[in-house]
Amino acid sequence: MSKIFIDPGHGGHDSGAVGKRSKEKDNVLKVGLNLKALLESYGHTVKLSRSTDVFIALSERAQMANRWGADYFVSLHNNSATSDASGFETFIYNGNVSSSTTKLQAAIHNAISKEIGIRDRGMKRESLAVLRESSMPAVLIEYAFISNTVDETILINQVEKLAQLTAKGIVAQAGIVKPTAPTPGATQKEEPKLYKPSASAILNSTATVLKRLEQKVDNPLDPQWREKLLKGELTESDAIGLLYVAIDRGHIVGKAE
Ligand SMILES: [Zn+2]
């Protein structure tokens, strides 16, 4: 279990950057709240610098994490520049940092840059107060440009996805304590049901039929299906699909009346 400090930037009278349709302080708070739930579901302890719309000074954010004894510090921001600037970037302190700091940056950066769908502006280093004054590995994320129409849509509409990608990056470094815990916000995927014949005779007949289909001269069946069956890895929906393949190829013909 790791103690992870999540810092949604700005708040209160400090809106951060302001876009046409949203404010940085609101966008990053939503991601932060989602991220907290996700990391907790992975078995970590999470503290937020703020969970409401309040102002906290930069140094105080770092001190909160230091006092708590956080293992990791992750600060969430939206970028801003001219309307044509776009993309994703991350920062660590530009002074001496531990190898865990560069690893954490790489883990978070790679998880997000691959999936966010905008330009990767790179892993950067700068002397930002929260990074400089926090005593644990610290990364600051600039998800996208609130000043760019396309980027702002991501910041507004893809809050859960941004939280999931960030969580994925953090646990790539911090690990997962409860791998089976449900992921709040994530789509629950049902495990496919395996095709388990109740008697060995049925299993053998199924295997024999599949083997015959593999030996057909035209359109032979891929042997992987019989291998899956014998390994107990064939799903029920595959089994039904195979039946239709056999019918479609004319291998199963009903008796004429
Ligand atoms: Zn900011």
18-32 burial, b for 16+ CB within 10 Å, e for fewer?
ebeebbbbbbbbbbb
Specify whether 191 is catalytic.
no
95 exposure class (CB count in 10 Å sphere: 0-12, 13-18, 19+): exposed
- Domain boundary (116, 140, 174) is at 174
**CATH number of the domain enclosing 49:** 3.40.630.40
User: What's the number of domains the chain is made of?
Assistant: 2
Confidence of residue 236 (pLDDT cuts 50, 70, 90): confident
CA of 173 to the centre of ligand 1 (A): 24
Is residue 193 domain-resident? no
Confidence of residue 186 (pLDDT cuts 50, 70, 90): low
Is residue 28 domain-resident? yes
The 10 Å Cβ neighbour count of residue 178 is 12
| HSE of 205, CA atoms in CB hemisphere, 13 A | 6
- Domain boundary (126, 156, 174) is at 174
Which residue would you say has higher pLDDT here, 49 or 186? 49
Is residue 181 domain-resident? no
The residue written with tokens 């030996």 in the block is: 215
CA of 30 to the centre of ligand 1 (A): 14
- The average confidence (pLDDT) of the chain is 92
Nearest to 47 by CA among 73, 9, 76, 15: 73
Task: Label the pairing between strands 72-79 and 138-145.
Answer: parallel
Same domain, 154 and 205: no
Same domain, 78 and 139: yes
Domain containing 49 equals: 3-174
Q: Percent of the chain at pLDDT above 90?
A: 68
Give 107-116 pLDDT, tens digit per residue.
999 999 999 9
Is residue 187 domain-resident? no
Token pair for 220? 């032979």
Is residue 254 domain-resident? no
Give the active site residue among 142, 160, 191, 236. Answer: 142
CA of 243 to the centre of ligand 1 (A): 57
